[in-house]
């Protein structure tokens, strides 16, 4: 075949022709087709001399060709190129994820779903790694359910947000593929399987893989060199900062080994720096948890050695898809392409600044869609602030790129929902539930975008004024001009400008921001507005000591309000003690308890612990329990005051829950379930719970909705709930497998972590929810329901306060 001719047409039409022919603008073996011109005899590629291999299908003919340079004619692929192309066809992000999971499943690992981005861990704001859902197992607080597991975990990290789009590999949202062993296998198997996965399953050339090991880990070095066969010159011993993993000051830890891909093997083996981001990318980290670190820094071998690994999906996709950065993989690039169309720019022809902005949009949109899907809503605190910050950054960047409308030509229309639809289309294989939450995600993004745009113009004008003042005043002592912390806080507090956006704009103008002054203003506001929150005062060190001796607490409170128990631990001011006397506040850990610990919105029980004394001189003890919380895992911490006598570790006590208060909690918890069902009936099924408080004498229910409820809607909700109460329906409680519960239609709380077995509470014909709380046996026990107030507490979040009984 001498060549393939096209009639003279303009560049955009030629690209459209090729895109239609190949069903994609992406080509294996080449980053992208920058532009194509008609030479009458052959196709030519401009700005790229990489090999392009693909298959053209028209009618029943199949033409396979390569493009080498502006003078190259169309030539058939060799057999070697065909094999390379065949591998590329299975290099999609979805295929990589599937192949990784199946590889380890075939080696005895249980495939487990990704945990929520909202972790069940009070020490972490967002899920940052695949091992987080297994932390209680690694710490010995929960028994292992399976000996080994494999996951594709959705993760969020914001510590490198300033590098997103500017480097080839940094993200806020990414997927971590992992294989985990809970005392099942260890270092040798982990290393050999990792090598088999990368070189045989993914067919990476062994000669382009480099290994790092901890400098003192001779065992790992020997396995890599003697058993796997990696040459010594491609194994690097590195120090503690790079290749030793710890979970904190004390606790499980161990060396790690990382696998790097070499993009430039032609540079040889001399003076190699694995930290060179241009030449290398680290894509697979193997952590060998084999020690327990003591307070004095000494390392003691663990009885159960564990494996925790992580492979960056985006990084592996970049390698296998042969693209210059993570953003141009099929995991992110469709979002960038959509943003490019909205901005009416060509990514291929764009300058570096525009490309960076498009990459930021592609990255941040993935993060906000998955966060909102997992129940995080934009706000000015905590996780909500992360979402708001990312959304507002995308809106501002979109305006800089000239995006002014949606994809239907509506000027001034919102564009975030347009981009979100692309993200949702890409989400099917990692989290199918995202599609079912699409309407709520799009509505949340539209509201937040409109809200920000309303204040953006006013805020931009004020920021311009502040920056102009800073520039006119000039720097002192040769320093750069500085925007005051007070002005920056005004923009944040009044106009919703995230401080990071203010800092970015200021940097563009050559102005610094007084971050210390901003932090002081923020702290002043926090002290005025933030209510104190009761937390269990278990320090990392103290908890580490308790973990060795305190088992999970057996909860008896579904069936009884009183029980005898043994004191397994005592805490005063967060420190372990062996006995506590009259008048002291104390935290008590029992082997079993009838007391409900605060969770699922329901507050902890109140009541008494006591021992009556005896003829042998045993002292009478009375402890008033004022609250019960859970620590890491499932240890119940009973917080109270010793009213009489003393209590010590190992003693037996009787624990009695205040029955009247418990009944109040049961009434208000069941009423909360009825309220959620009534809301879905009256204002729409898309509304969902965003938080709750179930107290002894009242309830509070937060839900997603964009406007205040009308008086008529409130009346309908009350009438419906009181009708259900009057129906005198018996509740049904079942424990069932998680998948069966989901199939049954039971409502789960976004962000909650559930085990393989879940408890489902059902009011037949009315409500069915995942719930571990306490409830009435019949709706008639509630007696009556009345809404006290309804108000907005954040953008898109409403709150109902009500009483029952």
Binding residues: 669, 673, 771, 775
Q: b/e per residue, 508-522, with b = 16+ CB within 10 A?
A: eeebebbeebbeebb
Q: Which residue has the tokens 């945990």?
A: 115
Asked whether 302 and 253 are in contact (CB, 8 A), the reply is no
697: three-class secondary structure by DSSP: coil
CA distance 322 to 51: 11
CA distance 638 to 789: 32
Write out the binding residues for Zn(2+): 669, 673, 771, 775
Task: Quickly count: other Cβ atoms within 10 Å of residue 644's Cβ.
Answer: 14
CA dihedral of residues 759, 145, 102, 208 (deg, nearest 10) = 130
Collect all residues with Cβ–Cβ distance below 8 Å to 165 and sequence separation of at least 6. 327, 355, 356, 357, 358, 359, 360, 363
Collect all residues with Cβ–Cβ distance below 8 Å to 445 and sequence separation of at least 6. 368, 372, 391, 414, 416, 417, 420
Q: Count the helix, strand and coil residues of the chain and give each as a percent rounded to the nearest 5.
A: 35, 25, 35
DSSP 747: B
Question: What φ, ψ does residue 234 adopt, rounded to 5°?
Answer: -110, 15
Collect all residues with Cβ–Cβ distance below 8 Å to 95 and sequence separation of at least 6. none
Question: Between the CA of residue 117 and those of 10, 261, 371, what are the distances in Å?
Answer: 47, 29, 7
Count of CA atoms in the C-beta half-sphere (13 A) of 315? 24
Collect all residues with Cβ–Cβ distance below 8 Å to 781 and sequence separation of at least 6. 663, 666, 667, 670
Q: Which of 364, 369, 370, 361 minimizes the C-alpha distance to 339?
A: 361
Question: Between the CA of residue 718 and those of 265, 676, 785, what are the distances in Å?
Answer: 71, 12, 7
Count of CA atoms in the C-beta half-sphere (13 A) of 275? 4
Enumerate the β-bridge partners of residue 623: 609, 642
Most distant CA pair in the chain, distance: 110
Task: Quickly count: other Cβ atoms within 10 Å of residue 489's Cβ.
Answer: 22
Long-range contacts of 348-357 (CB under 8 A, 24+ apart): 348/32, 348/33, 348/34, 348/35, 349/34, 349/35, 354/401, 355/165, 356/165, 356/166, 357/165, 357/397, 357/400, 357/401
Tell me the helices (H) and strands (E) count for the chain, helix number first: 21, 33
- Length of the chain counted residue by residue: 805
Asked whether 610 and 563 are in contact (CB, 8 A), the reply is no
Q: Which of 713, 695, 697 minimizes the C-alpha distance to 705?
A: 713
What does the angle CA 364 – CA 365 – CA 369 come to, to the nearest 5 degrees?
A: 120
CA distance 25 to 37: 15
Q: What is the SS3 assignment for 26-38?
A: CECCECCCCCEEE
Task: Quickly count: other Cβ atoms within 10 Å of residue 741's Cβ.
Answer: 22
Collect all residues with Cβ–Cβ distance below 8 Å to 318 and sequence separation of at least 6. 168, 169, 281, 324, 325, 326, 328, 329
Long-range contacts of 753-762 (CB under 8 A, 24+ apart): 753/115, 753/116, 753/119, 753/120, 753/133, 755/145, 756/145, 759/733, 759/734, 759/735, 760/733, 760/734, 760/735, 760/736, 761/673, 761/731, 761/732, 761/733, 762/731, 762/732, 762/733, 762/734
């Amino acid at each position: 075949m001498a060549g393939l001719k096209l009639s003279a047409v303009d560049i955009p039409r030629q690209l459209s022709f090729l895109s239609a022919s190949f069903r994609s603008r992406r080509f294996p073996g080449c980053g992208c087709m920058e532009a194509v011109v008609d030479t009458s005899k052959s196709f030519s590629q401009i700005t790229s001399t990489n090999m392009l291999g693909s298959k053209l299908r028209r009618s029943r003919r199949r033409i396979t060709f390569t493009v080498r340079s502006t003078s190259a004619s169309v030539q058939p692929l060799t057999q070697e190129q065909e094999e390379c192309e065949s591998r590329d066809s299975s290099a999609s992000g979805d295929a990589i994820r599937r192949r990784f999971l199946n590889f380890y499943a075939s080696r005895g690992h249980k495939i487990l779903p990704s945990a929520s981005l909202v972790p069940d861990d009070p020490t972490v704001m967002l899920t940052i790694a695949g091992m987080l859902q297994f932390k209680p197992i690694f710490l010995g607080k929960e028994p292992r359910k399976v000996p080994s597991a494999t996951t594709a975990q959705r993760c969020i990290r914001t510590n490198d947000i300033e590098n997103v789009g500017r480097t080839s590999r940094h993200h806020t949202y990414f997927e971590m593929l992992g294989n985990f062993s809970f005392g099942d296998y260890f270092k040798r198997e982990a290393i050999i399987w990792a090598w088999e996965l990368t070189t045989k399953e993914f067919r990476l050339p062994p000669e382009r893989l480099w290994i790092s090991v901890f400098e003192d880990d001779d065992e790992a070095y020997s396995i890599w060199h003697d058993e796997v066969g990696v040459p010594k010159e491609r194994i690097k011993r590195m120090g503690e900062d790079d290749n030793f993993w710890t979970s904190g000051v004390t606790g499980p830890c161990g060396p790690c080994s990382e696998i790097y891909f070499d993009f430039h093997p032609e540079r040889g083996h001399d003076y190699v720096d694995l930290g060179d981001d241009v030449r290398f990318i680290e894509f697979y980290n193997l952590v060998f948890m084999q020690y327990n670190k003591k307070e004095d820094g000494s390392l003691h071998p663990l009885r159960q050695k564990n494996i925790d690994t992580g492979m960056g999906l985006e990084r592996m996709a970049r390698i296998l898809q042969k693209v210059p950065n993570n953003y141009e993989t099929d995991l992110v690039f469709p979002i960038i392409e959509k943003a490019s169309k909205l901005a009416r720019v060509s990514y291929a022809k764009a300058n570096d600044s525009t490309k960076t902005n498009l990459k930021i949009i592609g990255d941040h949109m993935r993060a906000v869609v998955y966060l909102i899907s997992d129940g995080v809503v934009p706000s000015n605190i905590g996780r909500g602030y992360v979402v708001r910050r990312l959304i507002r950054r995308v809106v501002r960047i979109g305006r800089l790129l000239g995006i002014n409308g949606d994809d239907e030509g509506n000027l001034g229309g919102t564009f975030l929902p347009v981009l979100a639809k692309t993200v949702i289309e890409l989400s099917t294989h990692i989290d199918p539930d995202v599609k079912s939450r699409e309407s709520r995600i799009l509505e949340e993004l539209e509201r937040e975008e409109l809200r920000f745009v309303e204040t953006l113009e006013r805020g931009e004008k004020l920021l311009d004024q502040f920056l102009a003042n800073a520039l006119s005043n000039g720097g002192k002592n040769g320093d750069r001009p500085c925007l005051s912390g007070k002005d920056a806080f005004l923009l944040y507090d009044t106009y919703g400008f995230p401080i990071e956006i203010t800092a970015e704009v200021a940097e563009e103008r050559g102005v610094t921001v007084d971050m210390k002054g901003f932090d002081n203003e923020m702290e002043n506001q926090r002290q005025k507005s933030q209510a104190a929150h009761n937390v269990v005062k278990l320090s990392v060190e103290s908890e580490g000591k308790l973990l060795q001796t305190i088992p999970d607490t057996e909860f008896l409170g579904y069936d009884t309000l009183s029980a005898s128990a043994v004191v397994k631990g005592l805490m005063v001011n967060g420190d372990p003690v062996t006995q506590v006397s009259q008048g002291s506040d104390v935290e008590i850990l029992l082997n079993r308890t009838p007391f409900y610990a605060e969770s699922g919105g329901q507050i902890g029980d109140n009541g008494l612990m006591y021992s009556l004394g005896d003829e042998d001189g045993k002292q009478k003890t009375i402890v008033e329990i004022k609250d019960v919380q859970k620590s890491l895992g499932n240890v119940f911490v009973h917080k109270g005051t010793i009213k009489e006598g003393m209590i010590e570790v190992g003693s037996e006590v009787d624990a009695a829950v205040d029955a009247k208060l418990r009944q109040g909690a049961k009434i208000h918890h069941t009423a909360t379930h009825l309220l959620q069902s009534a809301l879905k009936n009256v204002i729409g099924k898309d509304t969902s719970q965003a938080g709750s408080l179930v107290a002894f004498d009242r309830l509070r229910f937060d839900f997603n909705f964009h406007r205040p409820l009308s008086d008529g809607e409130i009346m309908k909700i009350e009438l419906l709930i009181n009708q259900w109460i009057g129906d005198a329906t018996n509740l049904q409680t079942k424990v069932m497998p998680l998948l069966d519960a989901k199939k049954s239609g039971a409502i789960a709380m976004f962000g909650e972590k559930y085990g393989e077995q879940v408890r489902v509470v059902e009011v037949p014909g009315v409500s069915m929810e995942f719930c571990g709380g306490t409830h009435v046996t019949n709706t008639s026990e509630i007696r009556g329901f009345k809404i006290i107030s309804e108000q907005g507490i954040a953008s898109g979040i409403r709150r109902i306060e009500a009483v029952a009984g």
